[in-house]
Each structure stands twice: as structure tokens, then as C-alpha cells.
Amino acid sequence: MITVPVELGPRRYQVMVGEGVRHHLARVLPAGARQAAVVTQANLAPWLADLDPGVPFEVHTIDDGEEAKSTETVSELCRAFARSGLARSDVVVAVGGGVVTDTAGLAAALYHRGTAYVNVATSLLAQVDAAIGGKTGVNIPEGKNLLGAIWQPTAVLCDTEVLSTLPPREWASGRGEMAKYAFLTGKAPDTGLLEMALPEQVAFCATLKAAVVAEDETEAGRRVVLNYGHTLGHALEAAAFADGDLRHGEAVAMGLVFAAMLARRLGRIDDERVALHRRVVAGFDLPVDLPDGSDPEVLVGFMARDKKARHDLTFVLDGPDGVEPVRGVGSGDVLATLADMAAARSGA
């Protein structure tokens, strides 16, 4: 087992990585918890059979997919917690991927104005990113994660054993976040992360994220760099919300290439650096081009409402000093970059 600390003073907690770490759940529950509410999804039933939080618990199942990340789901969970007699001193246990950890985490943050929660991350995406750092949230039609709170878990368990059942596109979704971290190490980005054993891959990403979160918990400064590739990524996800045929990591991968092309247009990096982005993203077996039928005007509209925006178009972009936030980007440059991506896809 590998242990990664998230250093937040008295709210310090650990990310535990390895095969079978879900069996450590009972020992990471907060002191004084006498009851647990386990939030999960129906397809994770096999992993619940031997889950033991060490206290009486009820299981609350939410739907699959981004549609489950809604205010309605959060309300239903909080009402279920109340009916079961869950106290503020008890604990919510989120067992699942990013949809579950985001939604259950927000319900925990709101219930009794803050109830402890533990994340048992079962997807690669959740283990390398979503379950760590305390950002919880749900979607509204106007954009992804526009409603949320920063509410830190008391522990995160990343059981790599459960990843054996992931379908290929869920692996791709997690690799999208891993590719992002390849550009945030301060070294020349490459695909070397993929040469590590799986627990080491997860721990590597968790360590990078933990360091950034410890420095800037509320995203007032450096933490914004963790959104690299996400502004277009979230816009693509929002535009595809109706059919859901786009995974988060796939969208982030496209967003990384877009961010590089936008940085080049703004004179921050050169063609060689853009080509490097494309090689690294492709090396993670991820898409580098926009989906067919993408509407640039619609995407810009979603980007303007993205949670990172501050009354302007804000992007995290590569540059001479590395990846950093850039505010006040003109919509004309964004539209032109989207046109460049479309041209690259068509070979024009």
C-alpha cells in the first residue's frame, strides 16, 4: 500500500493506494461516527458485498452517468440521510467514480451544514483526480459543476483491484487526467507515467494533486493549473450532455491540444511545443481532434460560463513560465483556434 498525505493542517488526510485498500475503510472513519450512509451505483454491487465500514450502514444508490450529477439527486440523498437518522457526527461513504464522489461529497457538505465523508474511488479518473482535493459539485443545463462546494474528505481509498472491471472508455477517461499531469510536473512532458505499475501511476498523480491542493485549497491561485485542458473539455461535455457519448478524460485530452494551439496563437509557445502536446496526448491513446459536428459558437458560450471564468474568457495555458492561468482571452482567438482544430481534423 502507498500512502499520500494531503497536508491541510488539522484537516490533514491520507490517500491510500493499492490492491484491497477498500478493506481499510473501518479504520479511516472519523472518531465518533456511529452510522454510515453508503452512496454508490447499482453496477458496483459486487464491490459492496465485502465492504465493511465497521458501523451500521444503509446503501443509497444513484443513477449512472452525468445526468445523476444534479440538484435533484443531492436533495434525494439528503432526504434519505434524514429518514435514516444520520447525524452530523456520522459519515457519508462515497463508493464509485467521479459522478458518485462529486455528488455524494456535495450532499455531505450540505447535510447538517457539513457531515464527514470518505471516498472509496472505483474508477481511474476518480483515483488520479476527482476523489482528491475536496471539490464537490453537480451540473446544471448551463454548465458542468456550476453548483458545488469545497468540502474535504476525511480519507480517500484508491483500490486498484477494482479497476480490473473497467471498460476501455473508462480507462481512457482516467488517462485523460493522467495526460494532464504529464504537463504539470515541471519537466519535459512525456508518456513515462504509463511505464509505471498501476498503483504507482495512481500514487504519482495523487501526489502531484495533493501538493497543489495543500498550497491552494480554495483555487485562489496555483490550484487553477489543475484545470489544464478543462475549459474546452467541460464545454464539450456540456454540449454533448444530451447523448452523453463523451467521457470526461476524452474531452480533457481534446482540451489539452486546444489549449496548446490557443497558446501558440497568443504567442506563448511555438509549433514544436504544440506538436509535443499532440504526441503526448496521442501516446496516452486519447483523441487529439474535435468531435465531428462541434459548433464553435456553442462551445464558446459554454466556456464563458465555465466555473473558472471571472467575467471573461479564462484559460490555463502553457507558456515560457510553464502552465498558468491567462485571463481576458478574446473570443475571436478562441473561435480561430477552434477553426484551426477543425481544419487539422479534416486535413485542410
Please identify every residue annotated as catalytic: 113, 135, 177, 209, 219, 223, 227, 230, 234, 248
| 296 contacts: CB under 8 Å, gap ≥ 6 | 334, 335, 338, 339, 342
Report whether 117 contacts 108 (CB < 8 A).
Answer: yes
What separation in angstroms does the CA of 43 have from each of 110, 111, 212?
A: 26, 26, 33
Q: Which three cell numbers stand for residue 29?
A: 472513519
Q: Where are the alpha helices (DSSP H) in the chain?
A: 25-28, 45-48, 71-83, 98-110, 124-125, 168-182, 198-215, 230-239, 248-265, 271-283, 296-305, 331-346
For residue 50, give the C-alpha cell: 465485502
Pairing of strands 13-18, 36-41: unpaired
Instruction: Measure the CA–CA gap between 321 and 311, rounded to whole angstroms.
Output: 25
Non-local (6+) Cβ contacts of 238 within 8 A are 139, 142, 143, 144, 302
- Tell me what percent of the chain is helix, strand and coil, each rounded to the nearest 5: 50, 15, 35
Residue 193's SS3 state is helix
Q: Label the pairing between strands 155-159 and 13-18.
A: parallel
85 φ/ψ sector (left φ>0, alpha ψ -120 to 50, else beta): left
The upper half-sphere exposure of residue 187, i.e. CA atoms within 13 Å in the direction of its Cβ, equals 8
How many other C-beta atoms are found inside a 10 Å radius of the C-beta of residue 193? 21
